């Protein structure tokens, strides 16, 4: 089943294309693979990056759109990723990067394509746990910038996942949020003997 990838805002794409065309931006990037790449590079598979600020036993805060991530392809594989961010002047290039989330995102997307349900892929960051998940949003008509976590959505933790959370295992939203709540809720203090 093909994924319904939302189109990225045109200014976000233009900012990544401009950065790819800038020898300075590529040369100064901390991405040895990107700097050594031969041939054309293309930004593909734009994914909206949402942030979940707070997870508590009472529920979660709404997600907010923080940026768009593009996979930078050279030949047959992704060599790096490019993040964009929303500034007061609109969408702007943020940085290039590589690392384990790149391969993990591609792996999770391949598995998602094999699922029987239609979905819109997004990334969901949980900063409190240094965690990134592939968010498979069931409402494919959303524009990628909107849409809350819905009970039918799936979250797939990307590797490296926090200890005790299995990477690449799809979870219903409520199931994973319960685990996150346990991870983020401080243990009660023990009383000292009287």
Angle (CA) 131-137-141 rounded to 5° is 145
**What confidence tens digit (pLDDT) does each residue in 31-83 have?**
888 888 888 899 999 999 999 987 766 666 788 999 999 999 988 889 999 99
Question: For residue 147, what are the contacts with CB-CB under 8 A and spacing of at least 6?
Answer: 120, 137, 139
Query: pTM here?
Result: 0.89
Is the pLDDT at 167 greater than 70? The verdict is yes
Rg from Cα positions in the chain: 18
Q: Residue 131: in which H helix or E strand, if any?
A: strand 131-137
Q: pLDDT value at position 35?
A: 83
Strands 120-126 and 90-97: unpaired
% of residues, the chain, pLDDT over 70? 91
Q: Which one has a higher pLDDT value, 131 or 2?
A: 131
| Residue (of 123, 121, 126, 124) closest to 137 by Cα position | 121
Q: Identify any residues that bridge with 137 across adjacent strands, giving them in sequence order.
A: 120
Question: For residue 37, what are the contacts with CB-CB under 8 A and spacing of at least 6?
Answer: 74, 79
The C-alpha atoms of residue 185 and residue 51 are separated, in whole angstroms, by 19
Q: Identify any residues that bridge with 96 across adjacent strands, giving them in sequence order.
A: 82
| Three-state secondary structure string covering 81-121 | EEEEEEECCEEEEEEEECCHHHHHHHHHHHHHHCCCCCCEE
Q: Which one has a higher pLDDT value, 148 or 153?
A: 153
DSSP state of 128: G
The C-alpha atoms of residue 40 and residue 57 are separated, in whole angstroms, by 48
Domain boundaries, the chain: 10-184
Angle (CA) 29-30-36 rounded to 5° is 75
Q: Please provide the average confidence, as pLDDT, over all residues in the chain.
A: 88
Is the pLDDT at 193 greater than 70? The verdict is no
């Amino acid at each position: 089943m093909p994924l319904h990838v939302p189109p990225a805002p045109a200014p976000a794409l233009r900012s990544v294309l401009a950065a790819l065309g800038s020898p300075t931006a590529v040369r100064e990037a901390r991405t040895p693979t990107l700097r050594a790449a031969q041939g054309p590079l293309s930004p593909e598979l734009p994914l909206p990056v949402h942030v979940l600020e707070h997870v508590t036993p009472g529920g979660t805060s709404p997600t907010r759109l923080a940026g768009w991530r593009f996979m930078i392809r050279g030949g047959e594989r992704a060599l790096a990723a490019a993040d964009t961010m929303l500034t007061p002047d609109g969408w702007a290039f943020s940085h290039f990067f590589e690392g384990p989330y790149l391969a993990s995102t591609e792996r999770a997307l391949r598995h998602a394509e094999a699922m029987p349900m239609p979905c819109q892929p997004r990334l969901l960051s949980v900063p409190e746990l240094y965690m990134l998940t592939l968010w498979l949003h069931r409402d494919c008509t959303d524009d990628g910038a909107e849409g809350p976590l819905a009970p039918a959505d799936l979250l797939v933790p990307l590797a490296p996942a926090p200890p005790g959370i299995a990477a690449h295992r799809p979870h219903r939203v409520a199931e994973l949020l319960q685990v996150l709540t346990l991870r983020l809720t401080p243990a009660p203090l023990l009383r000292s003997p009287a």
